[in-house]
Amino acid sequence: MWEGGASLNSRRILAVRVSRLRINSRLLDRKILHITFLAGGLGAIAGNSFAQLPPKAPNSSVITLTPQPGYFTEPGIAINPNNPQQVVAVYQDNAHAAYSFDAGRTWQVATGVESTSYRVSGDVSTTFDNQGHAFVCYIAFDKLGTFNYWGHNSSRNGIYVRRSLDGGKTWEAKDILATEQPDKTPDQKDVPWEDKPYIVADNSHGPYAGNLYIGWTRWTIADSQIQFVRSTNDGKTWSNPMEIDAVRGLPRDDNGAVEGFAGAVGPDSTLYVVWADGNHLVFTSSSDGGHTFAPTRNIIDTAPTMFSIDAVARANGFPQIAIDPRGGEKGGRLYVAWADYRNGEIDVFCSSSKDYGASWSPATRVNGDPVHNGADHFFQWMTVDPSDGFIYVAFYDRRGDPRNRAQAVVLARSTDSGQSFQNYSWTEQPFNAKGAFIGDYNGLAAMNGRVYGIWTEKPEDITTRNTVIRVGLADFAASSGASSANSSVSPKANLK
């Protein structure tokens, strides 16, 4: 969602340098002693033992995608499975898209993406299908309902899809309706509010290859629901919505609601989905192309996945689900990632299933800093590289700030089926959002060892609530010589 009761638009390390002047060794020792005492004193005042940031991600670089700061949040990113040189990035507000035809080295902003029928469009997600067509999915509306009670005093709204048949460069002039609500019901009651849609493509070789799916939260006056639609004709038309939850959630955008739909498709076309409901994650699957779903099950007990964090307007740990497509007709392990505060601070976790969701492993802590150090980690996003089954999780990480207010972006990688994770820094200078809205989620995609992350940052020199969208690249497949292990030529935004 976005911040407040308005529109989307309304949502040092202690560096001590020892002088190069010639001084005697006793004076130098006294200076070092003073520095050590001062640093230790600051740590004691903070009451925390904070870790240094992890080493830089290999062959990595970061660019700022947005030409100028603005109200930009909630990005997503996708790789064309037929041509990995093509990458699409999306973000709000309103709905925007950018594209790269050279594996993220240069980027251009596309036009004609946002809704032309509503004042506001956002909550974007993106995917490529098995034909190499790109899709952006978004909600559109004229005004928000009551703050966090979105189904109350709601207005006309809907979920729409726009297609690009050329890798994200151009987008079709007419967006496609997935579902919509009028301004009022026939008896003048508030209409449901459609929120946080997530689009999934079946890029398998299974019987339903080419299908597209969207799941989302529907807010009503009385409850929250997980709704679902499918397309069997390249996104040109969509089925009527169907409710796939067995237990509805509370009607307020807070703990107790059903939120955070995510999906993944196995090599046999089985669709696996997950969402958050109170203190647990809910799982179900469809083996018939989204026509029907297995009974839902609570699979993982969590602490609440919505939480308050200092210096940001809103935060959560909604889940993602991914599958290793290798390992036979049905594929390999399933993975789920989320964040919660079972340890006091907010940590990121991952659990796996080797029996397609029937049972799940104990949670593995993804962030590698010490437990109970008070550093928060949030807005994680997970993906699995289909080429080797390695797991990647990107998240905001506050281990470098003893005040627990500024966050860097960390990329975690598992090469042992989620039993352990190596942490890497994608950014080395933490930023303080200073209470700004930085969204509900970020994005991550990986293929052939090349990983793309996308996230929101607030520039330090900006006094307004403006933010920027940044894209990080990390290449684990590239040669790691001494001169290139932790750096690469910075890609150019080349934005127009």
Of the pLDDT bands very low, low, confident and very high (cuts 50, 70, 90), residue 461 is confident
Mean pLDDT across 122-144: 97
Mean pLDDT to the nearest integer, 82-105: 97
Residue 494: closest CA among 90, 75, 65: 65
pLDDT exceeds cutoff 90 at 265:
yes
Q: In percent, how much of the chain has pLDDT > 70?
A: 86
- 282 forms beta bridges with 275, 298
The CA distance from 454 to 99, in Å, is: 13
Q: Answer whether residue 26 shows pLDDT above 50.
A: no
Residue 28's pLDDT is: 33
Asked whether 238 and 230 are in contact (CB, 8 A), the reply is: yes
Cβ burial 194-206 (10 Å sphere, 16+ → b, else e): bbbbbbbbbbbeb
List the one residue out of 53, 55, 70, 57 whose CA is nearest residue 10: 70
Q: How confident is the model at residue 9 (pLDDT cuts 50, 70, 90)?
A: very low
Q: What percent of the chain has pLDDT over 90?
A: 82
pLDDT band with cut points at 50, 70 and 90 for residue 2: low
Q: Which two tokens stand for residue 383?
A: 């993906």
Lowest-confidence segment of 350-364, 368-382, 482-496 by average pLDDT: 482-496
pLDDT > 80? residue 488: no
For the beta carbon of residue 344, count every other beta carbon within 10 angstroms.
12
Tell me the average pLDDT of the chain.
Answer: 88
Q: Is the pLDDT of residue 369 over 80?
A: yes
The mean pLDDT of 409-427, rounded to a whole number, is 98
User: What does the pLDDT look like over 269-285, one tens digit per residue?
Assistant: 999 999 999 899 999 99
CA distance 447 to 445: 7
Q: What is the pLDDT of residue 187?
A: 87
List, in sequence order, every beta strand (DSSP E) within 193-329.
193-201, 212-219, 224-231, 242-243, 258-265, 271-277, 280-286, 297-301, 306-307, 315-316, 320-323
pLDDT of residue 1: 56
Pick the residue with more confidence: 483 or 275?
Answer: 275
- Strand ranges inside 17-156, DSSP E: 61-64, 73-79, 87-92, 96-100, 108-109, 120-128, 134-141
- Cα–Cα nearest to 364, from 396, 403, 329, 391: 391
Average of pLDDT values for 338-364? 98
Ordered alpha helix ranges (H), 349-429: none
Phi, psi of 38 (to 5 degrees): -65, -45
Report the C-alpha gap between 11 and 378 in whole angstroms.
Answer: 18
Per-residue pLDDT of 158-178, as tens digits, reads 999 999 999 999 999 999 999
Residue 40 pLDDT > 60:
no
Polymer length of the chain: 496
Average pLDDT over residues 395-406: 97
Domain 52-475 has CATH 2.120.10.10: yes
Res. 486 pLDDT band, cuts 50 70 90: very low
Q: Of 51, 195, 172, 70, nearest to 123 (Cα)?
A: 195
pTM of the predicted structure, to 2 decimals:
0.88
Identify the band that residue 128 occupies on the pLDDT scale cut at 50, 70 and 90: very high
State the Cα–Cα distance between residues 121 and 96, nearest whole angstrom: 9
Find out whether 282 and 298 touch, Cβ atoms under 8 Å. yes
Model confidence pLDDT, tens digit, residues 209-249: 999 999 999 999 999 999 999 999 999 999 999 999 999 99
- What DSSP character marks residue 438? -
Q: Which residue has the tokens 């933490």?
A: 430
Averaged over 411-438, what is the pLDDT? 96
Using a 10 angstrom Cβ sphere, with 0-12 exposed, 13-18 middle and 19 or more buried, the burial of residue 343 is: middle
Say what the pLDDT of residue 496 is. 43
Q: 431 Cβ partners below 8 Å, 6+ apart?
A: 406, 407, 408, 457, 458, 459, 460
Helix/strand/coil (H/E/C) assignment for every residue in 60-79: CEEEECCCCCECCEEEEEEE
Residue 494 has pLDDT above 50, yes or no: no
Average pLDDT in the 117-145 region? Answer: 97
The confidence score (pLDDT) of residue 465 equals 87
